[in-house]
Structure 1
Amino acid sequence: MATIDYYFATLSPYCYLAGQRLEEVAAKYGADINYKPFDLITAFSRTGGTLPKDRHISRIEYRAQAMPREARKQGMPFNLQPAHWPTNGAPAAYAFIAAQNAGGGDLGKLAHVITRSVWADEKDIAQDDVVRACLTEAGFDPGLADSGMLVGAETYARNLEEAVDAGVFGAPFYIVEDQRFWGQDKLEDLDLHLAGKL
């Protein structure tokens, strides 16, 4: 049975636009998903990336066209300039890690609900009440927002190191066996790889 290491960022619009298609692909092949929330901003600085605000105007303009197009293609609500972005994505990541350790809910849904909160629902995922609502919607105990902060911080930092060591430089990033797939637009390639066709 294959295991997919999924490196995602709670603030990434592209992780939001992936929806829950990764979970659908994994279910199709009986693959496990190893969720690894990580600090994408720090990863950018360590892997030659550039923050969106510092990119050349050509890249900024393209991003402004491409993301809404992808949202329309997927039938997803999307706000190119959400009210609470950027914000501190760490609290939501720590809560995700606490939920991962506790079990009892749907991690794929939780990852999606967190990113949806930013890019569609105009919510600040740095706020405790928002994180609690995300946990509840995905079937987890909302009290997990208050627990496991130290473990969450340690795991979050370790996930960053593992990401950089594994060749991850963006999000969403999927690794299965020795194959790397960057971006929600590579989910079809991941599907074909798991089918043995690519």
Structure 2
Amino acid sequence: MAHIDFYFATISPFTYLSSGTVEEIAARHGATLTYKPLDIMALFARTGGLPPKDRHPSRQAYRLQDMVRRANRLGRPLNPKPAFWPTNPAPSSYALIAAQKAGGGDLGKLLAELTEAVWAGEKNIAEDDVIRAALSAAGFDPALADSGMLQGAEEYARNLEDAVANNVFGAPFFVVDGTAHFWGQDRLDDLDRYLSGNL
């Protein structure tokens, strides 16, 4: 049975656009899936990348166009310049880590709720009530927003170290069995084909 480590940032537009699909792919192939939220800005600094605001204007313009095109292909709403971006991704990441440990809900839906709140809902996912609403919508106890903060912070930091050690440099990033690497929402088809043995 294959295992997918899913590295992502809750403030990433391409994580938003990948949510749901990666879960479908894992289920189709009987693969296990571990969610690994991380600090994307720290990852950029560690792996030679730049935050979007520091990229050349031509790269910034292309990123905005590409986000909109990909959202349109998927039929998903997306505001390329949302009101609450960037925001502090740590609280939502800690909640997701706590939910993964607690079980009993739908982690894929939780990630979708959080990322959609940023990119389509004009909500600030650093705020407690937004996180609680996402937890509840995904079938988790909303009190998880307030629990395991220290443990969440430790795992969040560990996820960054794991990402750097595993040659991860962006989000979303999928690592199969520690060896096969797929970067970006636009590589999900390759991930599917790889797990099928066709790539």
TM-score using structure 1 length: 0.99
**SS across alignment from 2:174:** strand
**Aligned-partner Cα distance in 2 for 1:85–1:156:** 20
1:122 aligns with 2:103: no
**SS across alignment from 2:104:** coil
**Aligned-partner Cα distance in 2 for 1:68–1:52:** 16
**Aligned-partner Cα distance in 1 for 2:41–2:113:** 21
**SS across alignment from 1:6:** strand
Shift of 1:64: 1.4
Counterparts of 1:29-108 in structure 2 under 5 Å? 29-108=29-108
1:20 aligns with 2:20: yes
1:114 alignment partner AA = L
The alignment yields a C-alpha RMSD, in angstroms, of: 0.6
List runs of 5+ in structure 2 lacking aligned partners.
none
**Aligned-partner Cα distance in 2 for 1:19–1:132:** 19
**Aligned-partner Cα distance in 2 for 1:30–1:19:** 18
Question: Aligned residue for 1:193?
Answer: 194
Deviation per CA, 1:73-118, whole angstroms, max 9, x where unpaired? 0000000110100110100000101111111000111111111110
Q: After the TM superposition, which parts of structure 1 deviate over 6 Å for at least 4 consecutive aligned residues?
A: none
Shift of 1:68: 0.4
Percent of residue pairs bearing the same amino acid type: 62
1:91 alignment partner AA = P
Question: Aligned residue for 1:184?
Answer: 185
Question: Aligned residue for 2:147?
Answer: 147
Deviation per CA, 1:95-150, whole angstroms, max 9, x where unpaired? 10111111100011111111111000000000000000000011000000010000
List runs of 5+ in structure 1 lacking aligned partners.
none
**Aligned-partner Cα distance in 2 for 1:170–1:19:** 16
**Aligned-partner Cα distance in 1 for 2:175–2:158:** 17
Deviation per CA, 1:9-59, whole angstroms, max 9, x where unpaired? 010000001131000101111111011011111000000001100100110
**Aligned-partner Cα distance in 2 for 1:87–1:39:** 11
1:10 alignment partner AA = T
Report how many aligned residue pairs link the two structures. 198
TM-score using structure 2 length: 0.98
**Aligned-partner Cα distance in 2 for 1:37–1:83:** 22
